[in-house]
Structure 1
Amino acid sequence: MTSQKAAPIKTAAQATSSSSAYNCSAKKTCGQMASCEEAQYHLNECGNGRLDSNGDGVPCESLCR
């Protein structure tokens, strides 16, 4: 009989990533974004395609150079 260690269970706080500081709120324009990271979150997690006007996958070119 071998003993197996169970995988640690993550709490909701531990499973939360740094991008959880943002949410899919009413922000819709690059001028309303505080950082490139926030713009990327809104593009990738919220599906706000308006932030990537040229379709290159980089939101808010003025923030994310």
Structure 2
Amino acid sequence: MSQKAAPIKTTAQVTSSSSAYSCSTKKTCGQMASCAEAEFHLSECGNGRLDRNNDGVPCESLCR
């Protein structure tokens, strides 16, 4: 009766091999330097707060 636990992303250092962004920093749109960074935080870090209207586009002011 062993159960496998689902992998959990931690906020320590989740980074993409093609990205210099880290999930350990920058949690709000005001802290993002670019749309690409906001998209990374939404998709890779799971920061749903960046997409307030749930349309899949983070930080509307950056990603028009």
TM-score by length of 1: 0.70
Identity of aligned residues (%): 81
Deviation by residue 1:33-64 (Cα, 9 ceiling, x = unmatched): 00000000000000000000000000000000
* Structure 1 unaligned regions, length at least 5: 1-15
How much is the aligned-residue C-alpha RMSD, in angstroms? 0.8
Richer in helix (by share):
1
3-state secondary structure, aligned to 2:40: helix
For 1:28, the equivalent position in structure 2 comes to 27
Matched AA of 2:30: G
Which of 1 and 2 has greater Rg?
1
Contiguous gaps of at least 5 residues in structure 2: 1-16
Normalising by structure 2, we get a TM-score of 0.71
